[in-house]
Amino acid sequence: MNFKFLLCLFLSVFLCVRVKAQEQPNREFRGVWVATVANLDWPKQGDSAANQKLALQRLFDKIKDANLNVVLFQVRTECDAFYKSSREPWSRYLTGKQGIVPEYDPLAFAIEEAHKRGLELHAWFNPYRVNSSTDSKTVFADNHISKTKPEWLLSFANGKKILNPGLPEVREYVAQVVREVAQHYTIDGVHFDDYFYPYPEGSFKGIASEDAATFAKYGKNFKDIKDWRRDNVNETMRLVHQALKATKPEARFGVSPFGIWKTNVPAGIKGMDAYNDIYADPLAWLEKQYVDYLSPQLYWVIGGNQDYRKLLEWWSDKTYSSSRHLYAGHSLLAKGATELELPNQIAISRANQHHNALGSVIFRATNLTSNTLQSHTSLKATTFMAPAAPPAMPWKPGAKPAAPTDFTMVKNEKTGDYHVSWKRPARNKHSFKRYMLYSSFAPVTNVAELPAGALRAIPVSESFTVPASQVPLQTTYWAITELGPNNIESELSNFVILGRGGAIAQQLPAPSPEPDAAPELLEPLHARAIQQIKNVAAPNAVFDSQKSKVATVSTPYYLDVKLKKKAEVKVMLMSLDRTVKTEVMKRKFKSGVYTLSIDRSKLEAGENLLVLTINNKQSIKKIMLN
């Protein structure tokens, strides 16, 4: 650790620049890319199965130690497989020769080890790349796509080859590759990188006329070949979205496109862009809701021609308007970056949480675990000092788990540590178990009332040890919840109160759930997501959404209410300090779905309160007004 970093860390602590635990979100996507192409992060090519397994376990240990929660694990690098596939050969990066069967299933092992540590595993696919190397000595297996379907390939002057996205059979093939993995492995998500049409590098200026014959055959509805290429990629995304929806609908689907959508968008931004250089249009995927999140590769420092802050805010606006999530991609090798660049970038993202900037993905695992720019040290000590679970996605299917029961804490008088245990309800059947252990300095009645930084740990079994050093001296209230497959959280368990000095004062029963007519609010949602949400089997749920893309003081706040039975509904908006209030809207409704319109012209933009009362049962929730 160099002197400069120590000085910066010292100053940040005493100037309150450092992110305190109580300021850290309980929900935040904290991912890292694990690249297997060219053995960048893992595995060591040709190493024994035992050594490869041990290396992956150690890698995941370091990832967990930095309080990350998602691994983006590359399973397809060049139309090959790090899993048992009926379509594509085993990767040469495992054994040194493509098609050789390894002594274990790497993806199955990676999922098992990730889940043991409470880490999600998203399978990372390269959709079109055929050869990651142009070395003439590279030998491809007999069942590699380059040999079985050579007519599907586009070849370029620099030696690179890709599957031709203009062929309908290629697009369907890519979707079926993803479907196979979703059917046979307990992955938590699917992830695509930025390799669509080949991008310019060196003397290669990008695709020219290599697909002219395909365009002549299939592009009759397009005047411009560039629009046709973008449509080919869009169609691939649609098919993958449908394949996942049919086989593993709870799995998250995300893409990490170029950090620049178009040059000079937003104004002043310059550089190679996704729209014109690789014919990828992430805004179309958001508009059509093919993806659940984007992780644009914002591999630049704050300021300059590719300003991280400006790009982050632009992307967050786009994901927010489509009711999807943004998890910014960070590079630890960005030109001009210092030890404080990553913490500062994450701070900017957190400042845009209200616009769905809900996490980060770090490129890449070895750069992190080797402590490039003191990244591992700073994440563990400050930026990710408190654990977090990935955010839930209300538009994805998934039932809320039942709350844990019989939550207890027993103090070890010799060590001062606490043995924590609980019971899992029988109805919770999902295999990937994750629990959320909370403590707060005041009693709460539901998860939404817990303050930021209240999460203490994410255990993966029904017992856990809380070190004495993590128990505050003042009175604290402890409880636990369980996460479902789509990160939907159960209600709170019963509480254990630790008095001053850590003495177990008493146990309190779990907060009583609301009766049938009481609402549950899910956010953030917007107009395009409403129809999907209404179809979710969630009786008595209330869904709020701001339908206007650009809300102004003249735009009403819209609230969609779904009632199981007739009820009297009262709605009011108020400022956080409760000094400014709207008129109370009071009506009686039969069972059904209703859209309520509330005049918000008196309220300033920013955080405000929604007060909703159904049959005398009141809920108060923060909302964001633009």
* Contact between residue 498 and residue 409 where contact means Cβ atoms under 8 Å apart: yes
**CATH code linked to domain 405-508:** 2.60.40.10
Number of CB atoms found within 10 A of residue 184's CB: 16
Give me the mean pLDDT over the 469-481 stretch.
94
Q: What pLDDT does 367 receive?
A: 98
DSSP for 180-193, written as a single string: HHHHHS--SEEEE-
Element (H, E) at 7: helix 3-14
Distance of CA 593 to the CA centre of its chain: 30
Out of 164-173, 214-223, 432-441, 512-521, least confident range:
512-521
Candidates 71, 117, 118, 69; CA nearest to 384 is: 69
Candidates 274, 278, 350, 272; CA nearest to 316 is: 350
Candidates 353, 300, 292, 370; CA nearest to 330 is: 300
DSSP for 27-63, written as a single string: B-EEEEEE--GGGSSS--TT--HHHHHHHHHHHHHHH
Angle of the 106-116 helix axis to the 49-65 helix axis, nearest 10: 30
Mean pLDDT of the chain: 88
Q: What pLDDT does 35 receive?
A: 99
Residues of the chain with CATH 2.60.40.10: 405-508
Give SS3 for 248.
coil
User: What is the rounded CA–CA span in Å between residue 321 and residue 475?
Assistant: 42
Residues of the chain with CATH 2.60.40.2550: 521-625
Amino acid identity at 359: G
φ/ψ of residue 572, rounded to 5? -150, 145
User: What is the rounded CA–CA span in Å between residue 78 and residue 94?
Assistant: 13
User: What is the rounded CA–CA span in Å between residue 197 and residue 217?
Assistant: 19
Candidates 210, 253, 232, 16; CA nearest to 124 is: 253
Q: What pLDDT does 516 receive?
A: 39
And the tokens for 153?
A: 């390939």
User: What is the rounded CA–CA span in Å between residue 103 and residue 105?
Assistant: 7
Residues of the chain with CATH 3.20.20.80: 21-383
Out of 288-297, 372-381, 533-542, least confident range:
533-542
User: What is the rounded CA–CA span in Å between residue 488 and residue 495?
Assistant: 20
User: What is the rounded CA–CA span in Å between residue 488 and residue 485?
Assistant: 7
Query: Which residue stretches of 224-298 are H helix?
Result: 225-247, 274-277, 282-288
Contacts of 351 (CB under 8 A, 6+ apart): none
- The residue with greater pLDDT, 428 or 548, is 428
CATH architecture assigned to 521-625:
Sandwich (2.60)
User: What is the rounded CA–CA span in Å between residue 1 and residue 3?
Assistant: 7
* Contact between residue 390 and residue 70 where contact means Cβ atoms under 8 Å apart: yes
Number of CB atoms found within 10 A of residue 398's CB: 17
Start-to-end Cα distance in the chain? 43
* Partners of residue 111 on adjacent β-strands: none
| Longest CA–CA separation in the chain, Å | 79
Q: For the full predicted model, state whether its pTM sits above 0.75.
A: yes
Q: What pLDDT does 577 receive?
A: 65
And the tokens for 427?
A: 């109805």
Distance of CA 108 to the CA centre of its chain: 21
* Contact between residue 269 and residue 306 where contact means Cβ atoms under 8 Å apart: yes
DSSP for 306-318, written as a single string: T-HHHHHHHHHHH
Out of 3-17, 210-224, 478-492, 500-514, least confident range:
3-17
And the tokens for 349?
A: 């993202």
Read off the pLDDT band of 505 (50, 70, 90).
low
* Contact between residue 257 and residue 217 where contact means Cβ atoms under 8 Å apart: no
Q: What pLDDT does 512 receive?
A: 67
> What are the angstrom distances between the C-alpha of 128 and each of 273, 398, 557?
18, 31, 44
CA count, 13 A, side-chain hemisphere, 394: 23
- The residue with greater pLDDT, 572 or 159, is 159
* Contact between residue 390 and residue 27 where contact means Cβ atoms under 8 Å apart: yes
Number of CB atoms found within 10 A of residue 1's CB: 10
User: What is the rounded CA–CA span in Å between residue 335 and residue 299?
Assistant: 8
Q: Does domain 21-383 bear CATH number 3.40.720.10?
A: no
Q: What pLDDT does 304 receive?
A: 86
Give me the mean pLDDT over the 293-306 stretch.
97
CA count, 13 A, side-chain hemisphere, 279: 23
Give SS3 for 506.
strand
Q: What pLDDT does 575 receive?
A: 79
pLDDT tens digit sequence for 362-393: 999 999 999 999 999 999 999 999 999 999 99
φ/ψ of residue 496, rounded to 5? -115, 130
Give me the mean pLDDT over the 279-283 stretch.
99
And the tokens for 562?
A: 């779904």
Q: What pLDDT does 5 receive?
A: 46
Q: What pLDDT does 13 receive?
A: 41
Give SS3 for 510.
coil
User: What is the rounded CA–CA span in Å between residue 545 and residue 147?
Assistant: 51
Share of the chain above pLDDT 70, in %: 87
User: What is the rounded CA–CA span in Å between residue 528 and residue 530?
Assistant: 6
Give me the mean pLDDT over the 164-186 stretch.
99
Element (H, E) at 346: helix 341-351
* Contact between residue 483 and residue 455 where contact means Cβ atoms under 8 Å apart: no
Read off the pLDDT band of 513 (50, 70, 90).
low
Read off the pLDDT band of 543 (50, 70, 90).
very low
DSSP for 81-112, written as a single string: BSS--SSSPBPHHHHSSTTPPPSS-HHHHHHH
φ/ψ of residue 376, rounded to 5? -65, -45
Burial (0-12, 13-18, 19+ Cβ within 10 Å), 142:
exposed
Share of the chain above pLDDT 90, in %: 74
Candidates 329, 317, 360, 358; CA nearest to 487 is: 358
User: What is the rounded CA–CA span in Å between residue 90 and residue 143?
Assistant: 10
